[in-house]
Amino acid sequence: MTHYMTGLVVREAGVAAELVELRLPEIGPGQVRVRVRAAGVCHSDLSMVNGTLRPPHPLILGHEAAGEVVEVGEHVTRAAVGDHVVLNWQPACRTCWFCEHGEPWLCSTSHGVAALSNGITLDDAPVHVTLGVGAFAEQVVVPENAVIPVPSELGFDLAALLGCAVLTGTGAVRNTARVAPGESVVVIGLGGVGLSVVTAARAAGAAQVIAVDVTEAKKGLAEAAGATDFVVSSDNLSKDIRARTDRRGADHAIECVGRAATIRAAWRATRSGGQVTVVGMGAADDMVQLSALDIFSSARTLRASVYGQADTDLEIPALARDVLDGRLRLDHLITDRIGLAEVPGAFDRMSRGEGARSVAIL
């Protein structure tokens, strides 16, 4: 039986995304078909539209999503028809060197920027899917390790956020930076990920969480997420941060933008011996320059946090329970609930630094 659906596709670089009809393949052994119910508009998707990343085309956008399983292939054991699931764009194989050494977020078999592996076609030609998912579509076909069941009581809109923004931000605080009670944290960039960092840092017991963005309009969102301070970014950012941290700088700076300029700003805003955690995914040709003397004398640590350094199979269900139990509040992260056709407009708002997360409801 042939399945058709509508999806948001970029046909070539520099051309606006459009809704088109796509053909899905029959599912094979170990595969799952999911009816997408909600998909978040993430900065990584924007990066594939604006040229920061250069994926192959045509490309179905979207990767942060939740939905309902509508069909399973032979030998599938982790999901059944009717299950509510979060889609995992970096599923672990559990057999490569990284997985066997406790780093499933670096799995060597996971999809890169785009993949052709699921057999979806456009005009009878193969079409790539963003991060192996392509979630701005009515349905997706993914391997079973790319679906994570969550309780049906959890709304699809909130569940979608667990698949990228919330897991990434929370993991950066808990797993990478390991923020301790009483410490100070600077968060640069207040999209869905950055606001999740703010919330997680406060939950970790940080005494001071200084939220930074380019626009004063983010102040209310920052405060709702739990920020103790808000600073509009400028050339004097490091001075502004030091003025709020007894002239030392923050214990942690967590960068959620993915630009060389903001990574350097995070470095300068951190105290000697502090830690800079880079969460934002930037361009390959955007080079970060730090002096050899500064690296040595400041004794700071610079590291990345890929997908929150999380074991998704364990941490996404745990986050879902936290939401249902009231320990983790996510409502403030969603500033727009939109239709699939409105996603390009959400990209425009994101480019202007407006709002937190737009979520497409399908």
| In the chain, domain spans | 3-149+330-361, 169-306
Q: What percent of the chain has pLDDT over 70?
A: 97
- Give the pLDDT band (50/70/90) at residue 299: very high
| Residue 288: predicted pLDDT | 95
Name the phi and psi angles at 167, rounded to 5.
-65, -40
| Residue 272: predicted pLDDT | 97
Check pLDDT > 60 for residue 162.
yes
Name the phi and psi angles at 163, rounded to 5.
-75, -10
Measured between alpha carbons, how far is 244 from 146 in angstroms, rounded to an integer? 43
**What region, left, alpha or beta, does residue 33 occupy, with left being phi > 0 and alpha being psi -120 to 50 degrees?**
beta
Average pLDDT over residues 239-251: 95
Average pLDDT over residues 186-215: 95
* Residue tagged 């994570």 (tokens): 148
Check pLDDT > 90 for residue 219.
yes
Which residue type is seen at 360? Answer: A
Average pLDDT over residues 111-136: 79
Average pLDDT over residues 318-332: 92
Measured between alpha carbons, how far is 139 from 123 in angstroms, rounded to an integer? 17
DSSP assignment of 184-218 equals EEEEE--SHHHHHHHHHHHHTT-SEEEEEES-GGG
Strand order in the sheet with 184-188: 229-232, 208-213, 184-188, 250-255, 270-278, 301-304
| Residue 12: predicted pLDDT | 84
Query: How many CB atoms are closer than 10 A to CB 93?
Result: 15
Q: What percent of the chain has pLDDT over 90?
A: 73
Class of domain 3-149+330-361: alpha beta
| Residue 56: predicted pLDDT | 85
The residues near 121 (Cβ < 8 Å, ≥ 6 apart) are 22, 23, 25, 127
Which residue type is seen at 238? Answer: S
Name the CATH topology of 169-306: Rossmann fold (3.40.50)
| Residue 151: predicted pLDDT | 97
* Residue tagged 């992260």 (tokens): 333
| Residue 1: predicted pLDDT | 63
Average pLDDT over residues 59-77: 95
| Residue 284: predicted pLDDT | 86
CA 332 to the chain's CA centroid: 16
Tokens of 96: 């490569």
| Residue 116: predicted pLDDT | 64
| Residue 337: predicted pLDDT | 95
| Residue 106: predicted pLDDT | 92
Q: Where are the beta strands (DSSP E) in 44-83?
A: 59-60, 64-72
Count of residues in the chain: 362
| Residue 112: predicted pLDDT | 56
Measured between alpha carbons, how far is 168 from 175 in angstroms, rounded to an integer? 10
17 vs 119: which has the higher pLDDT: 17
Closest CA to 268 of 240, 244, 232: 240
The conformation of residue 37, written as its DSSP 8-state character, comes to: E
Express each pLDDT in 165-190 by its tens digit: 999 999 999 999 999 999 999 999 99
Measured between alpha carbons, how far is 194 from 181 in angstroms, rounded to an integer? 19
Measured between alpha carbons, how far is 217 from 214 in angstroms, rounded to an integer? 9
Q: Are 170 and 308 in contact (CB under 8 A)?
A: yes
